[in-house]
Amino acid sequence: MLLWETRSTEKRALKALAGRATGAPECLLREDRKGSFLLCKDGRAPEKVVEKHLTRLYSGGQTGPDAGDWVFRVGIWTPKDWRSEFCAWYSCEHAPILLECPEWEGYQLFEVPSARGCQFYVVHYLSDRSALDSEWRRLSRSTPWFRRLSKNKWFDGAFERILCRRFELNA
């Protein structure tokens, strides 16, 4: 799977970018209007578009183009010796708690090659952005396991968080 990042927010440019993708691309406009993302199976990204090759590790709930109007993308880096612990926490505790929230439709956890440590991206699918302020999200961030991981400088505060809205190319 590919993740393309661009500074563009214009419909014409995103439509042209989606035309270079195979499959049903997901176009995601950053809520802060600083750019957009495109998720696709394959394709050829033009110059000035950052391309990341994603390997899906875990997923749950509903995912893909029909899942939720909102997408919350989280970028996470861990040291290599914390990879197993992080993945176990995410798949066994954190994600299952989030999926109990009615507005949290699903998630996909991806890994990308990294020269040092481990780089992950999580794509969360939300039916409403209120899921980010939900009791389930608060609970998922208040467990003993979370508190133990959060003692590390690389954990939580260092994560990149970007809220996106789906961008319909045919509308």
- pTM (two decimals): 0.93
pLDDT classification of 171: cutoffs 50, 70, 90: low
| CA 145 remoteness from chain centre | 22
d(CA 168, CA 166): 6
Please state which architecture CATH assigns to domain 2-166.
Answer: 2-Layer Sandwich (3.30)
pLDDT classification of 170: cutoffs 50, 70, 90: confident
The pLDDT value given to residue 119: 97
d(CA 132, CA 110): 20
For the chain, the domains span 2-166
For residue 139, the surrounding DSSP H or E stretch is helix 135-140
Higher pLDDT, 168 or 157: 157
Give the mean model confidence (pLDDT) for residues 117-131.
97
Mind listing the pLDDT tens digit for each residue in 6-56? 999 998 999 999 999 988 899 999 999 999 999 999 999 988 899 999 999
Contact partners, residue 59, CB within 8 Å, separation at least 6? 106, 107, 108, 109
Whether 97 shows a pLDDT value over 70: the answer reads yes
The pLDDT value given to residue 169: 74
Sign of CA dihedral 162, 66, 107, 129: positive
